[in-house]
Structure 1
Amino acid sequence: MKLTFYEKRPKDKNIARIVLREGNESVVGVQGGKKVIYIGLGDGLRLNRRKLVSLARKVVVLAKGAKISCVALDFKDFVKNFEVAASELAEVLAVNFELANFEFVKYKSRPRDGWNFVKEIFVFGKIMPEIKNGFKKGQIVGGEVNACRILANTPGGEMTPKVLAEAAKTAFKNLPVKVSVLGCKEMGDLKMGGVLGVAKGAKEEPKFIIMEYMAGAKDKPVVLVGKGVTFDTGGLNIKTGEGMYEMHMDMSGAASVIHVIATAAKLKIAKNIIGLIPAVENMPSNESFRPGDVLRMMSGKTVEIINTDAEGRVILADALTYAKKYKPRLVVDVATLTGAALAALGQRASVIFSKDDSLIKTFQELGEESGDYVWPLPLWDEYEDDGIKGVFADLVNAHKTRYGGAILGAMFLWQFVKDDKAKAGAVFPWVHIDMAPRMTSIEGDWLAKGAAGEPTRLLVKLLEKF
């Protein structure tokens, strides 16, 4: 999508004008022989960032619905209606214009009259350089979120661990990011029993993808860990047909981490950032790991497999252990980890966990600022007694109760973060994002069906400000 800036409103009759007005109705109409996109501002209550996100997306969705390829907006109309700094307003608009204009059409036949996308948005008024920079930044962020959505939407037959590793290299072409990929031998030398154990049943070999963007002098890095299960059948504890649909998106955390780092590099964020992705397929075969198997993890801890469909936490555990080598100032893992997270929150926000209340507050604030909303659940010590301790191993990968599944999944990961030798505390500050509720877009998001690309925007904001 092209953004063009003018001092005065374009007179071309083929360019539809955006008009903000009172009320809840948003429609496409005609005024003076020209198309107009009327956007209702709502019930007159304070217009916050959440409403701005929806409004920006509505503009594009309505234009596409009316087959309008060019629209024009008066920037001061938005400035006077939203209590947001002008440069930030420009960024939010550009991000959400890009997100709403996206559709995953890679496998569709091209229509005779071409794809129905908005090609150009004209922004008119007194547009200062900082506002133009805000629009430019928003387009970069929106473009990388959409690239994340493309990765996550790609069918499992074409998105193997090897292909995911190559996709990471492609994402960083001409960017100052070093990519290293470990194979079975290297992971064996590191004793990554979790990653190797989960991958045993698959023909496709696992990969451990390491991405290093070092632009922060001697500062300690932020480490981002993304779950990279490129297809999850559930293994021998196989999913139902309905439950297996969309499980090519079980690498959405990995896709987000890749494009968060690409965004950071394009925005030239002066931080040291590491990305770690354990990439596997979880397949049933005569070689698969089995219920009752005991895996020895990279940390040395042992895990009894109760359910092979709780594989994500197993591979993430090895990645969290590997993260310690960087002596990070923060580790954030991102995973479509549990269906229980959806049961807890619905599909409007991702679940976050941390032992650090200040980090919880920071993530909630950045969620509101970015549009990738999050909400915390508890991670109290008492949950360690609710079913993660093993009988025949140190830990079990699936709990014996059907309650609190998202919490117990996070508590399992905490065992690979905390310092067992200390009375309390962690080896490093840590946040776990269970993004399962936001894996795909839902009605009311004003986005195309498929991957939502979250929490990419949130993590970019984190890297900018933390």
Structure 2
Amino acid sequence: MECEVQSGELLTVASDLAVMLYAEDEALPPSVVELCEAGDATGRFKQQTLLYPRGVLPMRRLLLLGMGKRSSITADTVRQAAALAVQRAQELKVATYHIGYNGNLPLTPAVFGQAFAEGSELGAYRYTRYKSDREETPTPRAILQAGSDAEAAVVSARRGQVIARAATFARDLANGPGNEVTPAFLGQTALELGERLGLKVTVLDKPQLIEQGFGGILAVGQGSANEPRFIVMEYGTAGQGPTICLVGKGITFDTGGISIKPAERMDDMKMDMSGAAAVLGTMQAVAELQLPLHVVGIVCAAENMPSGTAYRPGDIVRTLSGKTIEVLNTDAEGRIVLADGLFYAQRYQPAAIVDLATLTGAIMVALGPHAIGLMGNNQELANRLIAAGEATAERVWQLPLWDEYRDAMKSDIADLKNTGGRYGGAITAAGFLAAFVGDYPWAHLDIAGTAWVDKPTRAYQSRGATGIGVRLLVELLQGYVEKSA
């Protein structure tokens, strides 16, 4: 959708729809109060009151949208309010609407402008690609009336729209069906992204994976007719800024393999490549924002299927690092493909490695749909991610990664085993991954509980893929830009 920022006051603009954001502890303008009955508009967060000024004010409709107490307003309050505004504009079928805040901004114009653009873009999103009767009506154009702060808000709104579009790109990928979004499809998508944005992209196919020894990815993918891919996207060059490696789990469909999953909800397993989708989306945003960093996006793509050629419980897999894995459960496949990707990232001698994966059901039990599980070997990197999570509302919660959890992944007959049992499963999975990152600062983000929602918990979400990780990673990377400036 289109988002613009203009100077001028909201109540002076003639439009089909004006949206006034207001706090419950700030007085509405007298001209608006006259249009309301007592108790109609309290300012409670997300409360909507639609008014028809009938010539008293220049707009046809005025939507009052509550923001809660002024002291509690955050960037995410604005994101959600902007999402509710665009959804109401879609419902009313207006081509353009104006939106503004009543009173003094409780946030800087830059923060407000970015949050407005993100919420508007994300709130307008619906995945309708395969609906033959979908309406082709255009998404409304949103215009932020920022008063005298317009100039400061323009740049940040543009930035917000770039980031939100990258997140919706990730949503599209994770919402896509497994018969279309295959490892080869992800590889082709990366190549097209590179051509469009000037990224250096390498896609390794099965013969190249065999030649170079990517035993983890090959093992997981060997049961499928859709052959695996290993994808590397590189923005910038070493020395341009700190090198940050982002590694995404790209299981384009996960049946569980020979250790097959129950039929119920298996259809959702098209989203098991949400970590890969987040990496692809982040690389798009990094290139469009032209961040002065060296960012390497790595995607480990395979389809986990049962067949006569599938890998089995009891198999021993030799990974790219040379370390061996005893397979106890073929449904613990994500960590096996990530083993190759994480080891590969070491060749860039990065300042940080961050992996994203829908890795464990255990993290869903522990944290539900509200937080990403964070584990790693470097507290400074963990603190950066925690701060980025608070800024973006893609919150992370740190769990311990003591030696006992790593020891739980040792095998009697190989270097490692791919499951450590029922208890502490999210952490033991991270303990497994820790064996492949060397001494480089590393953080693991388990997004299994947050990558997909059946019942949205925020106004800018819709059922299905959330695009989680894109806004978080861009905020993290921006922190490296500011530190190196």
TM-score scaled by structure 1? 0.92
Match in the other structure for 1:15: 17
Q: In the TM superposition, what is the alpha-carbon distance from 1:255 to its structure 2 partner?
A: 0.9
Asked if the contact 1:26–1:40 (Cα under 8 Å) also holds between the matched residues in 2, the reply is yes
Match in the other structure for 2:129: 106
Cα distance change on mapping 1:297 and 1:111 into 2, 3 Å: closer
Cα distance change on mapping 1:464 and 1:215 into 2, 3 Å: farther
Asked if the contact 1:141–1:263 (Cα under 8 Å) also holds between the matched residues in 2, the reply is yes
Tell me whether 1:409 sits opposite 2:421 in the alignment. no
Match in the other structure for 2:187: 165
SS of 2:233's equivalent? strand
Match in the other structure for 1:421: none
Asked if the contact 2:166–2:284 (Cα under 8 Å) also holds between the matched residues in 1, the reply is yes
Match in the other structure for 1:182: 204
Cα distance change on mapping 1:85 and 1:6 into 2, 3 Å: closer
Tell me whether 1:29 sits opposite 2:53 in the alignment. no
Counterparts of residues 38-117 of structure 1 (less than 5 Å): 38-43=64-69, 45-74=71-100, 77=102, 80-82=104-106, 84-111=107-134, 114-115=136-137, 117=139
Deviation sequence 1:161-204 (CA, Å, 0-9, x none): 00111111223333120111111222122211111011110001
Match in the other structure for 1:141: 163
Tell me whether 1:3 sits opposite 2:3 in the alignment. yes
Report the AA paired with residue 433 of structure 2.
Answer: L
Match in the other structure for 2:40: none
Q: Unpaired segments of 5 or more residues in structure 1?
A: 419-425
State the distance in 2 between where 1:382 and 1:134 align.
45
Counterparts of residues 249-328 of structure 1 (less than 5 Å): 249-328=271-350
Deviation sequence 1:117-140 (CA, Å, 0-9, x none): 333334352244332111111111
Q: In the TM superposition, what is the alpha-carbon distance from 1:40 to its structure 2 partner?
A: 1.4
Q: In the TM superposition, what is the alpha-carbon distance from 1:41 to its structure 2 partner?
A: 2.0
Q: In the TM superposition, what is the alpha-carbon distance from 1:64 to its structure 2 partner?
A: 2.9
State the distance in 1 between where 2:430 and 2:442 align.
11
TM-score scaled by structure 2? 0.89
Tell me whether 1:465 sits opposite 2:485 in the alignment. no
State the distance in 1 between where 2:427 and 2:283 align.
28
Match in the other structure for 1:435: 447
RMSD over aligned Cα atoms: 1.9
Cα distance change on mapping 1:199 and 1:19 into 2, 3 Å: closer
Cα distance change on mapping 1:219 and 1:126 into 2, 3 Å: closer
Asked if the contact 1:338–1:434 (Cα under 8 Å) also holds between the matched residues in 2, the reply is yes
SS of 1:295's equivalent? strand
Deviates more, 1:287-296 or 1:63-72: 63-72
Q: In the TM superposition, what is the alpha-carbon distance from 1:88 to its structure 2 partner?
A: 1.9
State the distance in 1 between where 2:310 and 2:100 align.
59
Match in the other structure for 1:444: 457
Deviation sequence 1:195-253 (CA, Å, 0-9, x none): 10111100011110011111564545111101011111100111111241211111111
SS of 1:303's equivalent? strand
